[in-house]
Structure 1
């Protein structure tokens, strides 16, 4: 396709302008910035005596429509992740299999390196290159496009009728998948012999510079050179062949000697595959130079793809920052040990760097990266060759080896000395989970790794900064959590979850002043799961948000009914978890629920924990102020079980302190004034806040609380948590 006339700067009047070829390139990306950046990067830059004509598509569907009508697209710059994770690779399949565009070159790019294409996709769909968007600099773009267009031009030449070269292309695709470098080189040398119509007598070697050619060992040696494989090219034995190779390496195309011919194939990363064949009567006129160019260009692309495949293979099993094996490599090694029956006697330690996120935020990612490299170096230096060291997440390292080696006495001292980062010494605290693999019942390597994570999670929960050993009971607990979580999701979709209500009364006259809404779960077999079992699971999984709003809807609906039926002044208390409270949509959904119920927001009381109340973050302060503006009351739940700053507590717009039932249970007349319950009541009085005690079960407890100045209470003495029907019977009996 011919493009517009382009003039050189020194054009003079009367001269015929030269016409440059136009290469059509399609950008497929949902990011407008990528389109602009690529077009700008190649602005006015000639490529292979031509210019780039850009076509633009922002979705896979638009790209398909363009390619159905434009069949001469040379290169497609394609985003891996667009409408969904597989959109890019699905479009590649359409391009190759449905549209039949096998000549068009494809360069993949992505802004999400975690979605790198699998090696099989690179192979099956003939993808030229893969880059992250961060690598799409002007130099990289020019190099990638030049290489791809060169390949496209050469493949087009093949498509125009050179049957011999088609066979070469097919052979190249097969050779590219050769794992062994010598086998690949032998195959290329054999096809070079076919091209020159001669027998297979010659050699092949790789080099990076002309001055290193004579020093490189021969990868392949055939015919009269047989036996030289693995040896360098001796100048005295093969002076003419060496000179011929140097001539091809310093120039382009085939170099002809008196008794042979050489061809050097250059790959993208800078390596060169040098081929030499013995010839009885070398004849430069016997081979079309265009055929040689296509031959060299195609196998150069094969070399590029092999390099890409090797890089992807390496990245699939190694961490780029540290160079250590990654989680996938560790999992496969554990699986190999399991299949071979070698887990007995092996231990696995997972080392978690405490507060690594804070280190990055406070000191910067460059500091964090250097620290990780320092830890890597120390682990590598200390480990013996039979010990595997891996980095399996941002801040977790793994050490796998014999039980006698992987012990606390080996791991912990590694972190007793400071690390030198940026010229400064820095101490690192770690939490370690140890697992004797022989103690784990597993069917796959992933299960062994999960057992190790269970030990680490236990250590982080209960012994942060120290260590913990794997206990088979941890696996049972994990299975129980999974079972509870699945059951909880099922219950949320059905009718297994319901809300009960516990009365709150005035201690002075036992008058009903409020209700607390509490979640309950009844399974299909009729058994009731206690909240202390399923609430932690719901919080860890994030399901607590849905549960919380379910309780709020039920509570607000009931309170609106009670007020309409004459129980004016009764308030409704609802617990709000930290996960639910910190969700950005919490306030808007709360307003929607209150508005839909028709109740007065002043009679809704949200119970929050001390940890939320004391959190000094802009969001928490703004949320508490928004609730106060709405008229919603606030109670600090289980007050006394956490750590509260009274000066900060005084600043909060809350209405009520709630004494934890543990402090009520231990009340005695002799020590009442000095009890924690007594102190909480005094704090409430000083702050001018109401105090309510929960867990009141006896008249004695109620009398002591009343004498201490507490005016509100809830507990079994007044009423248990009740379903709605039972609550109405309770209300009727009191009336």
Structure 2
């Protein structure tokens, strides 16, 4: 699918107000049928709005619409007289647009219809072969399609279409010229392209190819014009200046440059072909004046229009080739270019001497959002400048994504000792001194098991991810163990997705006890996973994978639904005051639909919301954001109890905690395990109990495994506990049996 991009509307044209029909709306007015093929409705609307009531080449545009490649192909099979197709490159899949282009030109045989490609994905460039072989007029990103560009692109394409169709008598001859021009367009050498155009020009005039070509570059003076290629008696003049040629030839060429059309002299004809960049190709042929009668002016116009398009497409091909290998903002090699260089080192056996480092700017997204894209771009440019000054010719510098740079070079140079000092001093960004923190992942190519560029890049990214997971501002080296860990995470994630669709995931329940009388007061719902082969996978293995992949949200709501259903059943069977505690992940809690989905689960189960307790992490509770505060207040207003899980392991602000809408602090099992009689009150568990009492919060200790721990916690004033001493996490049938064994 394409990314969402509204077309930019500047103000170069005045649009006529709608009103009564005018005489020029009569059937005699030309209508250009233009088809928009895009899966984004906004693009259709913006394009139509941009061209509203504008005349193009003496006619009005009649819009046709298709929202997929398949729909467009069916429409074009019925509607043959279509002047222009504005086509999204990426729709159902990445090749949908280009496949449609092939169908238009090959299967449907629409050779005259003009095609403009556009895309909402700046990093995507269509195949160069497709632009050359299938006569594509233009290629633009959607962000480039301002009202000016829309009108200019459409007018240019429709002008070409009109001219092609108006010369029916010369159709076959022009088609041969167009086909030959498309072949010439792919020629990298300017002289070869110019000479080919000259020979086609002589064929059009039905005379011998004896002449020369001149290329006028944008910004250059007439005095700098030189002969690019030559044939016949002029062959020896290649490289000479226009000023060195005869007066008649010189004047003929100068008149053509000024008029931008064919100009006849006493002994020859000059034809100027303009390019979009302001350049001009001048063709000069020896020809007698009577040769003028052999070609219609409109045919010459078509010839000029087509070769002008060829000149423009040569610029486009050059831009596409540059974009395929270089970053547009910084001009640095991109990922593809780096990959090919790494591949070359594997091919010639020199990989053992090379190291690849990836440098990620920490929190670049936040910087961009807070200070704006202009500052972000300037920061990237300053970063690139700092790296380029250090790298020089010792290594290759590339930009792989928005905020990730790569340095690839000899292992004795690409080292932490060389790279880290580069960021010890501020960067100058828009005349401001700005410190940046970076995280670095490094890999020695000799340690990568697979021998190709993609594997080396993936290894470096694995090292970078490891460094970012450990702590930003650090660095990590790749080792083969990282690949094995990544493979294990992928397998776990795939298995976890399958488990969600089957019965692999299930919920167990651990009792929560009042320490005073050992009465059951609640349960904590905990998720477990058993594979199809019967192997249990511990939460410490699959929960981090679920959090990294975002699957934790789906798992969290699965546990909530199961737990609320069990609580409703237990209420019907016994104590209606029994509460159920369920963990809520940060990802689940921050999702915009969290409250609504929670309300639906409570309503479907029929439980009293006051009997549900949600356990959130200390980091979530301490977030001083509007969303977190409003969500906590909304949960409290619903009657839902809130507990801070593993309290004391994070960084709590007492000022925030005092006003926080939470009911219970949960002492982490690590603090319970370290309890002893001698310093109980001074222990972290003792501090949490006293803090809870002062703030009016309930306290529960988890991980209680011995009677001594339970007795000590009771004496310290902790009212509630859970742990193996009272009961392990149990499936529902075991829980019911356990409840049945408790004293009445």
For normalisation by structure 2, the TM-score amounts to 0.90
Report the secondary structure of 2:528's partner residue: strand
Deviations 1:32-84 (A, max 9, x none): 76556545655665544x13333242634776676556543322334445677
Q: Say how many residue pairs are matched.
A: 717
Q: Does 2:725 correspond to 1:725?
A: no
Deviation string 1:564-598 (CA, Å, 9 cap, x unpaired) is: 11143221111111111111112222222222222
**Does residue 1:173 correspond to 2:175, yes or no?**
no
The residue aligned with 2:22 is: none
* 2-structure distance, mates of 1:23, 1:527: 67
- Does residue 518 of the first structure (1) align with residue 526 of the second (2)? yes
Kindly report the root-mean-square deviation, in angstroms, between the aligned alpha carbons of the 2 structures.
2.7
Alignment of 1:243 with 2:246, yes or no, is: no
Provide the residue aligned with 2:593 in structure 1: 585
Tell me if the contact between 1:59 and 1:83 (Cα under 8 Å) persists in the aligned partners.
no
Return the alpha-carbon distance in structure 2 between the equivalents of residues 458 and 258 of structure 1: 77
CA contact (8 A) 2:218 2:277 kept: no
Distance 2:413 2:347 in 1: 22
Provide the rounded CA distance (Å) in 1 between the counterparts of 2:190 and 2:244.
Answer: 27
Quick one: distance in 2 between partners of 1:378 and 1:222?
Answer: 51
Aligned mates of 1:251, 1:210 — CA distance in 2: 18
CA distance in 2, matches of 1:545, 1:411: 39
Matches within 5 A, 1:239-638: 239-279=247-287, 283-385=291-393, 387-638=395-646
Residue of structure 2 equivalent to 1:147: 156
Q: Contact 1:154–1:298 at 8 Å: present in 2 too?
A: no
Report the Cα distance in structure 2 between the residues aligned to 1:219 and 1:236, rounded to whole angstroms.
Answer: 14
CA contact (8 A) 1:260 1:282 kept: no
Whether contact under 8 Å (1:655, 1:690) holds in the other structure is yes
Quote the offset at 1:444 in angstroms: 2.9
* Structure 1 residue 662 corresponds to structure 2 residue 666: no
Q: CA 1:120–1:500 in 2, change beyond 3 Å: closer, same or farther?
A: farther
Conserved in 2, the CA contact under 8 Å of 1:261 and 1:282?
no
Distance 1:280 1:525, change over 3 A: same
Distance 2:591 2:633 in 1: 16
* Equivalent position SS for 1:203: strand
- Cα distance in 2 for partners of 1:658, 1:45 equals 69
CA separation of 1:22 and 1:571: change in aligned 2, threshold 3 A: closer
Whole-Å Cα distance in 1 between the matches of residues 737 and 96 of structure 2? 60
Deviates most, 579-588 or 244-253: 244-253
Equivalent pair of 1:501/1:515 in contact (CA under 8 Å): yes
- 1:690 matched to 2:698: yes
| Structure 1 CA distance for aligned equivalents of residues 53 and 542 of structure 2 | 65
Compute the displacement of 1:227 (Å). 4.8
Instruction: Show structure 2 runs of 5+ residues with no match.
Output: 1-25
Residues 45-64 of structure 1: matches in 2 within 5 Å? 46-48=55-57, 50-57=58-65, 59-60=67-68
Q: Does the 8 A contact of 2:423 with 2:436 survive in 1?
A: yes
Alpha-carbon contact 1:44-1:51 (below 8 Å) kept:
no
SS in 1 for 2:460: helix
Residue range with higher mean Cα deviation, 283-292 or 232-241: 232-241
CA separation in 2, counterparts of 1:641 and 1:454?
28
Match of 1:12 in 2: none
Contact 2:33 2:63 in 1 (8 A): yes
Closer/same/farther in 2, CA of residues 280 and 88 from structure 1, 3 Å limit:
closer
Name whichever of 610-619 and 59-68 sits farther off.
59-68
* Residue 618 of structure 1: how far off its partner (Å): 1.6
Change (3 A) 1:689 1:121: same
Distance 2:340 2:660 in 1: 54
Instruction: Tell me the CA shift for residue 85 of structure 1.
Output: 6.4
CA distance in 2, matches of 1:178, 1:67: 32
Whether contact under 8 Å (1:519, 1:551) holds in the other structure is yes
Partner SS, residue 393 of structure 2: coil
Measure the CA separation in 1 of the matches of 2:552 and 2:627: 20
Which residue matches 1:103? 112
Output the CA distance in 2 between the equivalents of 1:238 and 1:336. 52
Contact 2:133/2:182 (<8 A) preserved: no
Question: Structure 2 vs 1, CA of residues 410 and 694 (structure 1 numbering), >3 Å: closer, same or farther?
Answer: same
SS state of the match for residue 680, structure 1?
A: helix
C-alpha distance in 1, partners of 2:293/2:66?
49
* Most deviating of 498-507 and 531-540: 498-507
Q: Secondary structure at the match of 2:352?
A: coil
**Residue 662 (structure 1) shift:** 0.2
Q: Deviations over 1:103-158 (max 9, x none)?
A: 12122334443455443443444321122333333432332223212211222135
* Native 8 Å contact 1:25 1:52 kept in 2: no
Aligned counterparts of 2:434 and 2:229: Cα–Cα separation in 1: 52
Q: TM-score when scaled to structure 1?
A: 0.91
Q: Comparing 643-652 with 64-73, which one deviates more in the overlay?
A: 64-73
| 1:526 positional shift | 1.9
The superposition leaves residues 211-240 of structure 1 with CA deviations (integer Å, 9 ceiling, x where unpaired) of 6345245432333333554x2426335554
> 2: distance between equivalents of 1:62 and 1:527?
49
Unaligned runs of 5+ in 1: 1-16
Q: In the alignment, is the contact (CA less than 8 A) between 1:553 and 1:593 conserved in 2?
A: yes
* CA offset digits 1:157-205 (Å, max 9, x no partner): 3544432222111212222233333332232222122222233333323
Quick one: structure 1 residues 672 and 451, their matched pair in 2 at CA, closer, same or farther if it must change by over 3 Å? same
Give the secondary-structure state (helix, strand or coil) at the position aligned to 1:431. Answer: strand
1:355–1:25 Cα change, 3 Å: same
